[in-house]
Structure 1
Amino acid sequence: MPPRVVVFDYGSGNLRSAQRAMERTGADVTVTSDPNAALDADGLVVPGVGAFSACMAGLKQAHGDRIIGRRLAGGRPVLGICVGMQVLFDKGVERADPQAEDQVTPGCGEWPGTVERLDAPILPHMGWNTVRAPQDSQLFAGITPQDRFYFVHSYAVRKWELAFDNPRMAPPRVTWAEHGEPFVAAVENGPLWATQFHPEKSGDTGARILANWVAILPQT
């Protein structure tokens, strides 16, 4: 039986692109906002595009924050993509225009850290970029340092803030990229994995990333 994957529909994200890309891995993929399906699936994909605040509002309305929390409490894999990764952190700080005050939006709080505007000469960061993945990364298995991934964003996590001192558990694997400054490009942390780039738009290298994630899914 192929693993069952739900692409969570909360009103944001490249749902059909994510669905087609996941189906190419051989997974049985459903796009739905049904909470029971999202809880029961072998793997849950949380996409996201646009503003942090809008994505978080849609996610909460669909009870996605609680679904993510319940899955992780049971060790059930979740994959966040782009803003679907950003909302996993403590908060997002956005500014609609230079004269406005910062808008601070609480995130899901699965990781400490702040999503904020990159300090870069050109924004958004749109196009192909390399990443620096840890040598023991499962997500980037089979990927070379020369391989590129497709990014489109102006905000990111600029500092990894999770302290880790549990000798009985593997520390999170954090992958970095650079656009004007270093930023978090991907994280592997137990059942919770995420990418700032779009694997579903990253050609063969993105397909390998998704296949690596599907390969870890428990099949029920």
Structure 2
Amino acid sequence: MGMSTASPKKVVVFDYGFGNVRSAERALARVGADVEITRDYEKAMNADGLLVPGVGAFSACMRGLKEARGDWIIGRRLSGGRPVMGICVGMQILFARGVEHGVETEGLDEWPGSVEPLNAPVVPHMGWNTVEAADGSELFAGLDADARFYFVHSYAVRDWTLEIGNPTLAAPKVTWATHGEPFVAAVENGALWATQFHPEKSGDAGAQLLTNWIGTL
């Protein structure tokens, strides 16, 4: 059966007040997904893929996510092996905690680790950067090693400590980037994928990456 005859994958961009939902919607639609921006519980639960964007403060994002029951939706989807992808702060909140101005906020704790201020001469890390893709990465399939992605962030996960993760998810593949110091740029972990950079603002490379994600849904 050719691609053209298959119905497009249904992707919900989760609208909880903290993300560039319009640019994410446009980028996904451009690569052939059937996209809806919503916080509707049933739609978010039943979509082929759930995209969780995030901008701003970790603590504000977590609060907004919980108010929209996003924490519950993400947990339920993952326990059923249903794909979820986090972008920028939408990736950061998947970790155990965020530390901003000395204040610690609990994250979703899908992965251990802390989101902390980047140690770099210039912060925020803003602009294009290359990544060191994980071996066997599906997310970066078909992309050259010198492909560049668009980053805007002051905080990052600087240590990856996961030995044995959630037993229902495949072993994580971790992609790194460097700005002043190495930090986690992307993670692929069974049904849960995430990027610190913005694929929706990363031109052709970002489009390829979103195409790769949709291909797994």
After superposition, where does 1:4-153 map in structure 2 within 5 Å? 4-95=10-101, 102-153=102-153
Q: CA deviation at 1:166?
A: 9.7
SS in 2 for 1:91: strand
Same amino acid, percent of matched pairs: 68
The whole-number CA distance in structure 2 between the counterparts of 1:122 and 1:165 is 33
Contact in 1 for aligned 2:151/2:196 (Cα 8 Å): yes
Q: 1:30 to 1:139 in 2, by over 3 A?
A: same
1:99 maps to none
Q: CA deviation at 1:40?
A: 0.4
Q: 1:9 to 1:166 in 2, by over 3 A?
A: closer
- Render the CA deviation track for 1:166-198: whole Å, top value 9, x for unaligned: 999742100000000000000000000000000
Q: CA deviation at 1:135?
A: 2.8
The whole-number CA distance in structure 1 between the counterparts of 2:14 and 2:91 is 13
The number of residue pairs the alignment matches comes to 211
1:156 maps to 156
Question: Which TM-score applies when normalising by structure 2?
Answer: 0.95
Contact in 1 for aligned 2:149/2:205 (Cα 8 Å): yes
State the AA in 2 paired with 1:191. A
Q: 1:169 to 1:39 in 2, by over 3 A?
A: closer
- Render the CA deviation track for 1:149-171: whole Å, top value 9, x for unaligned: 00000000000111138999742
Q: Which runs of 4+ in 1 moved over 6 A?
A: 165-169
| Unaligned ranges ≥5, structure 2 | 1-6
1:175 maps to 175
SS in 2 for 1:121: coil
Aligned CA-pair RMSD: 1.5
Question: Which TM-score applies when normalising by structure 1?
Answer: 0.93
2:3 maps to none
The whole-number CA distance in structure 1 between the counterparts of 2:167 and 2:110 is 20
Q: CA deviation at 1:59?
A: 0.3
| Unaligned ranges ≥5, structure 1 | 96-101
The whole-number CA distance in structure 2 between the counterparts of 1:92 and 1:152 is 17
Q: 1:2 to 1:184 in 2, by over 3 A?
A: same
